[in-house]
Structure 1
Amino acid sequence: MNPDLNQLHPYPFEKLAQLKAGIEPPAELAHIALSIGEPKHEPPQFVLETLSQSLSRVSNYPATKGLPELREAIARWATQRFQLSENELDPETQVLPVNGTREALFAFAQATVDRTAKNPLVVSPNPFYQIYEGAALLAGANTAFLNCTAENGFIPNFSEVDPSVWQDCQLLYLCSPGNPTGAVLTLEHWRVLLELADRYDFVIASDECYSELYFDEAAPPIGLLQACRALGRDDFSRCVVFHSLSKRSNLPGLRSGFVAGDAAVLADFLRYRTYHGCAMPVPSQLASIAAWGDEVHVRANRTLYRQKFDAVLKILDGCLEVEKPEAGFYLWPRTPLDSESFARELFAQQNITVLPGNYLARPTDAGNPGDHYVRMALVASLEECIEAAKRIKLFMEQF
């Protein structure tokens, strides 16, 4: 077996199951899961109808590169959403459909990392989406983590990172809006990172799967391609973005997303994917075309999340140290107990499951930035989220 498999950490939800083992919460309280970031809102009916009507196309082998119509639909959406110039994003060379961002984020490291280098390094925020670390380790790379804390606004000061880290860095994973903090990188953050990428020759992989979940309709989060455009980098050199329909359109089971950016990088990634055998089924591609072409259901989706955040934060105000994130669907409250104790006792007393923050991060010389935090995903119904907030407020009275 591949010896690098032995480096993988247990997945957070595996550790969570062990933490809850043997606990019997109050039977009279219905369980409320705030732990898994799985969208629960209704998927758009017109997308389901398109999927159903195209099932006969399962008789066709899909192309790894995807249907031209899908790549064109993605390019149109990205051009409008991120204020690109017309024809700036070439659907022929700068867009690839993928089976959700998780699959693509993992595969990207396998295609990008040069394991023959002296110290191949993949850099990641901390806390982080666990796929970044697993992808790096199985690509034969080492990992470096940049702590995201309340003190730095949950975004590292990239210009203060030791130059030796950037010297060895081959791939930088970022998530904006962030998981779990909801922090959003600004144009100035992107400017610094692009200068570093040019100076030290590494690729930026921007995970933007939460980009369409924001609160101010007049101020959507800036993306990496948009930053490139604003800074005059119309070739998107060293830049690749990852987007998904899972959160945007409540279609996590469709497993549909895309990568876009540097044409040279994507050419090699396509070559890798041709052997990887990960082409998206044609019915899924046709359904995806319908989803990327509509914004009405996306605005309605944001409204639902806005209602839940407003209601929950009003109840938790004054009893739990938590702030409204810039975007996304997570709360990242600081806890009076260590992360595991808080999650375990909340489950035992109130039958609510949250994810300990230290499961999403790694210890560094400055400590584990997930300690004394938990992640709460407001994906349940408004009624369930309100009930959860009331129980959490009751739970917090003992402190």
Structure 2
Amino acid sequence: MTYPERFSNLPPYAFPRLRTLLNGLEPDGAPVDMTIGSPLHPAPHWIADIIAQNMGGFGPYPPNDGTPELRAAISDWIKHRYGVDYPADTQIFPLNGTREGLFNASLAICEEQKNEMRPVILTPNPFYQVYAVAALAVGAEPVYVPATRESGFLPDYRALPKDILNRTAVCYICSPSNPQGAVATRDYWADLIALAEEYDFTIFADECYSEIYREAQPTGALTIAAQVGANPERVMLFNSLSKRSNLAGLRSGFAASGPENIKRMKSLRNYAGAPLALPLQRVAEKIWADEDHVEANRALYREKLDYADELFKGVQGFEAPEAGFFLWLPVNNGEEATKKLWLEKGVKVLPGAYLGRDAQGGNPGEKYIRAALVAPMNELQPGLQALKNCIYG
């Protein structure tokens, strides 16, 4: 058989790659897993009652565009969170998890040619791996832009050469960033939007970590787009309940953008897509409308971030994350540090290189490890202490 070439050069996905790296190494001590950003804090207890009350909804096909109540709840949340009005029927699209949207948005929005050339899709480096696969799926050239300490752990898209920007159809940006926890400022968003207007590309703003922060609420792309009077089609926002509400398995996310972008997303799902099951949409309606559990969740992460700040404050090169729930820790070699930590302490982390690509002179994640702060505090504290003692002495 002959297979397509477009995905032939993909590196192994991060977690199978990690299993291969650690294969045959037997840890010393009780294992502590800090690899996957899968939330472990309790979700609101009352969601079980909502599912039970709507069990009959598993029978019929769910509404493709989301229930009117779910779209309204998301629209209300956007108004509360970002201070902008996005009509529920025309500018909101509920997703089966944001990964669905981040992939399908490129299929729906990225043009086949840009200025009569192969289009470019920009992505930060390191990055959420779906960005690159989406670019390859539409035949675009993925361009990996370093997000390093020197650039504030956000990509400097304006520094790219004009020949790249003239071909750019889409750029992905994650704020708060995964894995570094950096937050785009108002000026960063305004400059990126101005760049997108100048070179006529669409910004895909991945803000899935926006509700896990210390004190200052991260500025959102939609807020700044409205303030500068940008075309609503210029920015597409993605967010979800996964991190905000500890419901990654619920798979409730959304995209919000201009009416034409949302129309194209809906049209694509009519042919190839899977909406959320109706009882789960009913749960999501209530979850998006409740902030009490979000603040309680945020308080738990603040405690963990504060503990990490104090523990690692003397480590050279350590940058306390502004938001999110990852530590991006400097090491001499990410793979070697990961093996040492697993073998000697039973603490499992992810080599930073597995989240990046070799581009523009190297892989920006090569000298980092990523540790997720999702475990309960009584497990996390000894795990982080063991990590510090093992790697930093």
TM, length-normalised to structure 1:
0.94
3-state SS of paired residue (1:145) = strand
Instruction: Please give the alpha-carbon distance, in whole angstroms, between the structure 1 residues aligned to 2:112 and 2:233.
Output: 22
SS of the equivalent of 2:12 reads coil
CA deviations over 1:281-311 (Å, ceiling 9, x no partner): 1111100001000000000000000111112
Is residue 125–residue 155 contact of structure 2 (8 Å, CA) maintained in 1? no
1:72–1:91 contact (8 Å) kept in structure 2: yes
Q: CA deviation at 1:197?
A: 1.2
Rounded to whole Å, the distance in 1 between the matches of 2:380 and 2:232 is 40
CA distance in 2, matches of 1:285, 1:199: 39
Which of 243-252 and 322-331 deviates more?
A: 322-331
Q: Which residue of 1 aligns with 2:236?
A: 240
Residue among 71, 89, 104 paired with 1:92 = 89
Q: Which residue of 2 aligns with 1:286?
A: 282
**Secondary structure in 1 matching 2:192:** helix
**Structure 1: which 5+ residue stretches go unaligned?**
none
Aligned partners of 2:64 and 2:339: how far apart in 1? 44
Contact 1:114 1:120 in 2 (8 A): yes
**2:75 matched residue in structure 1:** 75
Aligned to 2:62: 62
Q: 2:225 aligns with which of 207, 224, 228?
A: 228
Q: Residue 180 of structure 1 corresponds to which residue in structure 2?
A: 179
In the TM superposition, residue 396 of structure 1 has moved relative to its aligned partner by 3.0
Q: Which amino acid aligns with 2:273?
A: G
CA distance in 1, matches of 2:81, 2:107: 29
User: Which segment drifts farther, 173-182 or 313-322?
Assistant: 313-322
Report the equivalent of 1:37: 37
Q: Secondary structure at the match of 2:208?
A: coil
Matched, 1:102 2:99: yes
- Please identify, of 380-389 and 362-371, the stretch whose mean Cα deviation from structure 2 is larger: 362-371
**Quick one: which amino acid aligns to residue 381 of structure 2?**
I
Residues 7 and 137 in structure 1, CA contact (< 8 A), matched pair in contact too: no
Contact (CA 8 Å) 2:341, 2:391: kept in 1 or not? Answer: no
Counterpart selection for 1:349 from 344, 350, 373: 344
Q: CA deviation at 1:138?
A: 1.5
| C-alpha distance in 1 between matches for 2:360 and 2:197 | 28
Contact 1:172 1:202 in 2 (8 A): yes
Who is 1:300 aligned against?
296
Measured after TM superposition, the shift of residue 198 of structure 1 is 1.3
Residue 319 of structure 1 contacts residue 396 of structure 1 at CA under 8 Å; is this kept in 2?
Answer: no
CA contact (8 A) 2:337 2:391 kept: no
- Counterpart residue number, 2:269: 273
Is structure 2 residue 136 aligned with structure 1 residue 140? no
* C-alpha spacing 1:97/1:83, structure 2 compared with 1 (3 Å): same
- C-alpha deviation, 1:319, in angstroms: 4.3
Letter in structure 1 aligned against 2:186: L
Work out the CA distance in 2 between the residues paired with 1:319 and 1:231.
40
Aligned amino acid, residue 168 of structure 1: R
Distance across 2 between alignment mates of 1:243 and 1:273: 18
1:1-399 to 2 correspondences below 5 Å: 1-26=3-28, 29-84=29-84, 88-116=85-113, 118-216=117-215, 219-233=216-230, 235-319=231-315, 321-335=317-331, 337-396=332-391
Q: State the distance in 1 between where 2:184 and 2:313 align.
A: 26
Secondary structure in 2 matching 1:289: helix
Question: What TM-score results when the alignment is normalised by the length of structure 2?
Answer: 0.96
Residues 21-41 of structure 1: per-residue CA shift (max 9 Å, x gap): 110111xx2111111010000
Structure 2's unaligned 5+ residue stretches are none
Q: Which amino acid aligns with 1:238?
A: R
Q: Deviations over 1:215-268 (max 9, x none)?
A: 10xx210111111122133x5232100010000000011011100011111111
Secondary structure, aligned partner of 1:6:
coil
CA distance in 1 between counterparts of 2:147 and 2:80 reads: 31
Q: Helix, strand or coil: the match of 1:125?
A: strand
Q: Following TM superposition, where does structure 1 have runs of at least 4 consecutive aligned residues deviating by more than 4 angstroms? A: none
SS in structure 1 at match of 2:7:
helix
Distance in 2 between residues matched to 1:194 and 1:317, nearest whole Å: 35
Offset, 1:158: 2.8
Secondary structure, aligned partner of 1:7: coil
Question: Sequence identity of aligned pairs in percent?
Answer: 39
Q: Is the 8 A contact 2:147 2:156 kept in 1?
A: no
What SS class does the counterpart of residue 98 from structure 1 fall into? strand
Instruction: Output the CA distance in 1 between the equivalents of 2:184 and 2:316.
Output: 26
- Structure-1 separation of matches of 2:49 and 2:310: 38
Is the 1:8–1:137 contact (alpha carbons within 8 Å) kept by the matching residues of 2?
Answer: no
Deviation at 1:95, TM superposition (A): 0.1
Alignment-mate amino acid for residue 199 of structure 1: E
For 1:5 and 1:160, locate their aligned partners in 2 and report how far apart those are by CA, in whole Å.
Answer: 28
For residue 320 of structure 1, report the CA deviation from its aligned partner: 6.1
CA distance in 2, matches of 1:191, 1:22: 50
Which letter does structure 1 place at the counterpart of 2:52?
A: S
After the TM superposition, which of the residue ranges 100-109 and 48-57 deviates more from structure 2? 48-57
Moved more, 63-72 or 110-119: 110-119
The alignment partner of 2:358 has SS state of coil
Length, aligned pairs only: 389
CA distance in 2, matches of 1:195, 1:313: 35
